[in-house]
Amino acid sequence: MYTPENYLWGCIAYVLGVLMAAPFVWWATKRIPWHPLRAFFRMLFLALLLTPAFPYEGMTYLAPAWATAAFELIKPTMEHGVRRVLIPIGFSFAVLYALNLCVWQLLKARAEKKGVDLTGEDDDSREEQEEGFVRS
pLDDT in tens, 12-35: 998 999 899 989 988 988 898 888
Residue 105 lies in a domain: yes
What is the domain count for the chain? 1
Q: State the pLDDT at residue 35.
A: 87
pLDDT interval class at 53 (50, 70, 90): confident
Backbone torsions φ then ψ of 135, nearest 5 degrees? -80, 135
Residue 123 lies in a domain: no
pLDDT, one tens digit per residue, over 35-47 is 889 999 999 998 9
Instruction: Report the range of poorest mean pLDDT among 25-29, 58-62, 92-96, 103-107.
Output: 58-62
Residue 22 lies in a domain: yes
Q: State the pLDDT at residue 124.
A: 53
Residue 122 lies in a domain: no
Tell me the C-alpha distance between 62 and 72, whole Å: 15
Supply the range of the domain harboring residue 110.
4-117
Task: Give the pLDDT mean for 84-93.
Answer: 88
What residues contact 53, with CB distance under 8 A and at least 6 apart? 62, 63, 64, 65, 68, 69, 84, 85, 88
Residue 70 lies in a domain: yes
pLDDT above 50 for 136: no
pLDDT above 90 for 99: yes
Q: State the pLDDT at residue 72.
A: 82
Residue 51 lies in a domain: yes
